[in-house]
Each structure stands twice: as structure tokens, then as C-alpha cells.
Amino acid sequence: MAVPKKKTSKSKRDMRRSHHAIKMPNVSRCPKCQEPVLSHHVCPSCGTYRGREIIKIKEK
């Protein structure tokens, strides 16, 4: 069984965890309706993706 020879310092431990932070999602604008939408996702307000209608949205 592998056992560490030395105690990992707080500095080394925290440097390893530097990539664990929560990041904000990539939000862009829909070219058709200008609503915020996640990148590479269908727009929830107008139902389009890359200029094509993917899902039908009922009008209010």
C-alpha cells in the first residue's frame, strides 16, 4: 500500500484545489430574440438553435 513519506503542506494542498472553484456559466445572446442563452443550447424563449427552429414555443 502506498503511504506518503511527508505531510502535504497547506500551500501544496491549496494549490492543488485551486481549480475546484465554481465558475460562472458561458451566457451569450440569442441572435433572433436577444435573450440570454447558454452556449450550444436551444434558446428557451424562441426555440431556435443556429438559425433553425428546433422546438415549437406556444405564443402567450
Better-predicted residue by pLDDT, 50 or 58: 50
Q: Which residues contact 22 (CB under 8 A, 6 or more apart)?
A: none
**Residue pLDDT, tens place only, 5-34:** 999 999 999 999 999 999 999 999 999 999
Angle at 28 between CA 22 and CA 30, to 5 degrees: 145
Domain chopping of the chain, boundaries: 24-60
pTM score over 0.85: no
Residues 6+ apart with CB under 8 A from 41: 49
